[in-house]
């Protein structure tokens, strides 16, 4: 136990949150690019991959049981091993005849394991660190979560694209299925290494124990009371209007942006190579998103959430018109596509902070941790439902009209922000200065 107390948090926080981000981005983004490369239609891609949001929608339901059964350390080790197995399963079956059904089954397993890992990792974070350390490492864990995004939808997609072109192994040139299989075997190896590393490195805090003072019946009763209290909040209709519409345009754009880049000019796409999509969307785009989030956090801490909610709503929505311009222009240069994606992703990062701040705002009061978790479930639902039909809409009306439709879908979120703004206190989210507290 002494050894665990001395172990630096730097030895496990970065790797733990890299491990939290990587399977999520594999399910939500990498799968979209892979299925597009393997010939699925936009309708199929959006429907199948949007369903994979479900574990994150409903994870508040089983999160209390993570406290009841085993330790959070055990759950982390078990889920990382399961994630490694799921990645290997996807890799093995990509080159087979019935790859769609079988890989989707493994993606479902991956999604549930990843959502469960999120619960355990976030809980373990509070057990493994002192209170002062927790606040210090919030920024560090977010950075490594974003690094996982860059690696997943950036570096990994680039590897798949280069392998497909025969630039990594000449024998893989032109073989899309084996190129993607190689990438998922790489993910399996990374997660197996992470599971082994964390088995030995994660501390064993005394507080991380299974709860013996409660049982399943008590959990269900308390969950029912907590869940019901969430629906007793003031301005309930406006709250759900905001939660479900703030990203209504983005939820559809996110599912079609990469297929649009990859598609041929004859199909209305931009004919960007897989490797360049990984560079533009998964690397440069994620860096822009991260910078947008950092900028918005600084501004809210200085001036308060109320002042910035409307500019943030505009920032997350208005840049969607750039995709209309790209679709109208047809095949665009690498520089033009990069510029548009960078601006759109910076706006998304800048505007998404408003959503997270609103979740904190509505979670205030009794059961705030549970209410925040329930709020994140509705956040995922707001991405899942519109995303499911985005591909069908794009295939039915074409990319040009689809992106115009996306822009129209941004209007309800902007209206919701205007209405919500009236409820927010001037000082909410604003960092107190010494003069103000004196």
Res 88: pLDDT: 97
Rounded Cα gap, residues 29 and 289, in angstroms:
15
Res 6: pLDDT: 52
Last residue of one domain, picked from the residues 154, 173, 205: 205
Q: Is residue 222 part of a domain?
A: no
Same domain, 134 and 240: no
pLDDT tens digit sequence for 197-212: 999 999 888 877 766 6
Number of separate domains in the chain: 2
Q: Is 13 in contact with 145 (CB distance < 8 Å)?
A: no
Same domain, 182 and 249: no
At 96 the three-state DSSP class reads: coil
Same domain, 268 and 395: yes
Which of residues 226 and 274 earns the better pLDDT score? Answer: 274
Tokens 């003031």 — which residue?
234
Angle at 270 between CA 266 and CA 276, to 5 degrees: 140
Q: Is residue 430 part of a domain?
A: no
Most confident by average pLDDT, 236-240, 379-383, 410-414: 410-414
Last residue of one domain, picked from the residues 205, 237, 259: 205
Same domain, 293 and 335: yes
Same domain, 241 and 190: no
Tokens 């790859």 — which residue?
99
Same domain, 188 and 63: yes
Rounded Cα gap, residues 7 and 270, in angstroms:
50
Same domain, 199 and 233: no
Rounded Cα gap, residues 375 and 373, in angstroms:
5
- Other CB atoms within 10 A of residue 191 CB: 25
Same domain, 43 and 172: yes
Res 433: pLDDT: 55
Q: Is residue 130 part of a domain?
A: yes
Same domain, 282 and 133: no
Rounded Cα gap, residues 254 and 29, in angstroms:
8
Same domain, 323 and 180: no
Does pLDDT of 436 surpass 60?
no
Q: Is residue 212 part of a domain?
A: no
Does pLDDT of 266 surpass 50?
yes
pLDDT tens digit sequence for 75-117: 999 999 999 999 999 999 999 989 999 999 999 999 999 999 9
Angle at 132 between CA 130 and CA 137, to 5 degrees: 90
- The arithmetic mean of pLDDT across residues 428-432, rounded, is 73
- Domain range spanning residue 390? 229-424
Total count of residues recorded for the chain: 438
Q: Is 259 in contact with 249 (CB distance < 8 Å)?
A: no
Q: Is 308 in contact with 354 (CB distance < 8 Å)?
A: yes
Rounded Cα gap, residues 47 and 255, in angstroms:
9
Res 120: pLDDT: 87
Label residue 64 by pLDDT band (50, 70, 90): confident
Structure tokens at 203: 């501390």
The CATH number of residue 190's host domain is: 1.20.1250.20
Taking Cα atoms as reference points, which of 366, 319, 381, 326 lies closest to residue 345?
Answer: 319
Rounded Cα gap, residues 297 and 430, in angstroms:
10
Structure tokens at 301: 């801490």
Res 213: pLDDT: 66
Q: Is residue 34 part of a domain?
A: yes
Q: Indicate the average pLDDT of the chain.
A: 87
Q: Is residue 145 part of a domain?
A: yes
Does pLDDT of 3 surpass 70?
no
DSSP string, 105-143: HHHHHHHHHHHHHHHHHHHHHHHHS-HHHHHHHHHHHHH
Last residue of one domain, picked from the residues 205, 240, 259: 205
Q: Is residue 284 part of a domain?
A: yes
Same domain, 243 and 167: no
DSSP code of residue 10: G
DSSP code of residue 174: T
- Which of 363-371's residues contact partners 24+ apart within 8 Å by CB, and which partners? 366/229, 367/226, 367/229, 367/230, 370/60, 370/223, 370/226, 370/230, 371/226, 371/229, 371/230
Same domain, 135 and 265: no
Res 393: pLDDT: 96
Q: Is residue 193 part of a domain?
A: yes
């Amino acid at each position: 136990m002494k050894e665990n107390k001395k172990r630096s948090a730097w030895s496990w926080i970065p790797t733990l949150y890299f491990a939290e981000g990587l399977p999520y981005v594999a399910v939500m983004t990498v799968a979209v690019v892979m299925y597009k490369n393997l010939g699925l239609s936009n309708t199929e891609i959006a429907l199948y991959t949007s369903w994979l949001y479900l574990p994150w929608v409903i994870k508040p339901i089983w999160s209390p049981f993570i406290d009841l059964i085993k330790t959070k350390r055990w759950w982390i080790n078990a889920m990382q091993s399961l994630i490694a197995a799921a990645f290997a399963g996807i890799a093995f079956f990509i080159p087979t005849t019935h790859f769609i059904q079988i890989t989707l089954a493994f993606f479902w397993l991956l999604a549930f394991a990843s959502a469960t890992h999120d619960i355990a990792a976030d809980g373990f974070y509070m057990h493994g660190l002192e209170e002062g350390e927790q606040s210090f490492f919030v920024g560090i864990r977010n950075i490594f979560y974003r690094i996982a995004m860059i690696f997943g939808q950036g570096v990994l997609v680039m590897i798949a694209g280069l392998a497909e072109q025969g630039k990594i192994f000449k024998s893989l040139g032109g073989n899309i299925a084996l190129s993607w299989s190689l990438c998922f075997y790489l993910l399996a190896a990374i997660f197996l290494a992470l599971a082994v590393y964390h088995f030995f490195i994660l501390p064993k805090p005394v507080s991380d124990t299974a709860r013996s003072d409660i049982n399943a019946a008590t959990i269900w009763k308390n969950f029912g009371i907590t869940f019901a209290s969430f629906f007793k909040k003031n301005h309930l209709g406006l709250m759900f209007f905001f939660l479900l519409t703030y990203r209504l345009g983005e939820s559809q754009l996110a599912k079609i942006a990469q297929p649009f880049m990859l598609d041929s000019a004859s199909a209305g796409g931009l004919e960007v190579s897989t490797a360049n999509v990984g560079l533009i969307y998964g690397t440069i785009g994620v860096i822009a998103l991260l910078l947008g989030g950092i900028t918005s956090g600084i501004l809210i801490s200085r001036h308060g959430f109320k002042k910035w909610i409307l500019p943030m709503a505009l920032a997350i929505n208005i840049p969607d018109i750039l995709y209309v311009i790209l679709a109208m222009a047809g095949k665009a240069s690498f520089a033009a596509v990069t510029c548009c994606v960078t601006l759109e992703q910076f706006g998304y990062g800048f505007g998404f902070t408003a959503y997270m701040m609103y979740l904190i705002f509505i979670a205030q009061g009794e059961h705030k941790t549970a209410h925040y978790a329930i709020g994140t479930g509705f956040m995922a639902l707001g991405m899942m439902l519109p995303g499911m039909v985005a591909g069908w809409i794009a295939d039915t009306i074409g990319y040009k009209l689809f992106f115009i439709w996306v822009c129209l879908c941004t209007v309800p979120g902007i209206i919701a922000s205007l209405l919500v703004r009236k409820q927010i206190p001037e000082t909410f989210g604003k960092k107190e200065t010494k003069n103000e507290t004196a």
